[in-house]
Structure 1
Amino acid sequence: MKSTIADIAKIAGVAKSTVSRYLNGGSVSDITRRKIEQVIKETGFTPNTFAQSLKAKKTNMIGAIIPRLDSFSASQTVTGMDEELRAHGYQLLIVNTSQDLNREIEALYDLARQKISGIILFATQITEAHMQAIKEIEIPVIFLGQQHKEVHSIIYNDYAAGYEIGRYILNKGHKHIAYLGVTEMDVAVGVQRKQGFQSALNEQAQAVATYYESGFKMSDAVIAASAILDENPPSVIVCATDNIALGVMKAAFMRGIHIPEQLSVTGFGGYDITEVIHPGLTTVKYGYMQGGRLAARQIIKLVNDETVEALTVLGYELMDRESVDKV
């Protein structure tokens, strides 16, 4: 039978209020604390964290605001985050905004009203409204995926990754290149990756790239890639995300275009599916789960008024597979 606070109090010889105060981080004497800790250890008692959160001034709940639930990067990041938070006695509350910036702002205020101790925001854009909300709620916030000088931020080295992809396809001999990106309102994916790629191309005068834009969904990429392939097919399409690359591969398949013999394709992300499809997709792999764990550790430090670096830049790995042919 599961132990209750009343059971712990009776065995330890203290009042229920004392056990509750201990569980909520309140002040108890060293002798009493050791008694309660020993009983909890012996009984395997697990506190009702939700009930604690309702009573405590500072809860053990951390909020995560994510733009979409069907994203590989988001799911991997949240998994790492949740595992790390649970290991430290925190619970994760997830808010999905379906890529609606207004809902992101509302979520910041909603989480604050629920006495959340800290918030990790999977940022795609950072607006004045975001910054105003963060100032008003007065809760520790970490941006994950984008950076801002006034908020603790964790980003991936998208510029360097874009540069490396550029050097990679140039070394394969490609000179007729298409780059299929996303809106520049997303600074990390839409700007940094493209700028790094452009820097590599600037070192090779013979290479020419044409730049196109797609949505993040695979279906959007199929439409965008179809227009590219029907108009003036390049030797390679560099895609800003793996989802876009998969859309390009589908559009090529629909036209009987063989990859990589007739068209080379690269992506960014390192999604699991890119390894098992044929041909395997050459891509940049990011450590999303590790990023989630790091974000969890950092938000815990901020909640406890510990020092955290203002900006953390995470690495990547170039996965050289079969989707790029040598010209």
Structure 2
Amino acid sequence: MLYRHHSNKNRNVAQGRYQREASPKFQWTANRGQITLTALKSRLRTCFTFPDGTEDEHIVINRECGGSEKEIVCLVDDEDLASPFSSWTFPQIKTLFGLTADSYIDLPRFDGELANTTDYEKILGHDLEDIAMKHKTCIHVTSANEATRREFISPILHGVAFCYDGEVKVCPEYELSGSHGKGPVNWVIKIGDTIIVVIEAKREDINQGVGQNAIQLQASSQRNKKKRTYNEALREDVMYGMVSTGVDWVIIKLVTTGEYNDSDNGNVEVLLSSRTPFTFPINESSIKALCLANQVVFNRQIESQESLKRVKTENK
């Protein structure tokens, strides 16, 4: 029998794993009525030392066939067991985070400001031209498929990011994972070590999209806290997300306080921007408002980065 540990940091089994050959004296005597995976895993626990926090679901048993057959015990972590982000719904995050709202529209509000800047002027003309061209050459966004809808979402993200002279990057199909979900997200706005998660609402279901987005933001928050010192990780962590159908845009904020560990989500709040949902007709005033609202989110995330840098400097 071979005992392996799979690290989530390196999913390639051929690299970064440790192996330990089981003692040839290991025996498990049982009749057919006693042979269950639960019983075998219980027996393995008495004979081998597993990492702290290992649960039965982390122990996977399979058989390798080849020159010589081997029984193999593999360990997987919580992120390996996590469901795809797309499987999450709003009622599920309500239960997970202890929210009181039954729908995204009932979430408590945060002040959704518009950026007080003239930066939009250098992107507004380009965005209007780009979206107007797509409006003429694509199927109408209200009846388009998901791929076409993304054509109307992407220009807004790139247009606002362009105002930051390379400090902000737009990354499509970005892989993200956490204890409750994993998979690619449609877009990530990278600002230093922090990200803003942007997704297209599947089947125009913003309620489900907000649930999915909240789990993605929580996964990002977990990633951030794992990188920080104990004192830094206890600080309030603020993450922003956006959900769009290509016509309607919703901005949410996820606030996590308290220490995070694998069995505790900390205290999680999900809030909705007071200015959303934005309905997006193809005209200058609506695009201007949407760009300025998005720019505020970008600015706040940059400010949170600066705040964390100050904390790190003070702790040195």
Question: TM-score of the superposition, structure 2-length normalised?
Answer: 0.27
Identify the structure with the greater strand proportion: 2
Question: TM-score of the superposition, structure 1-length normalised?
Answer: 0.26
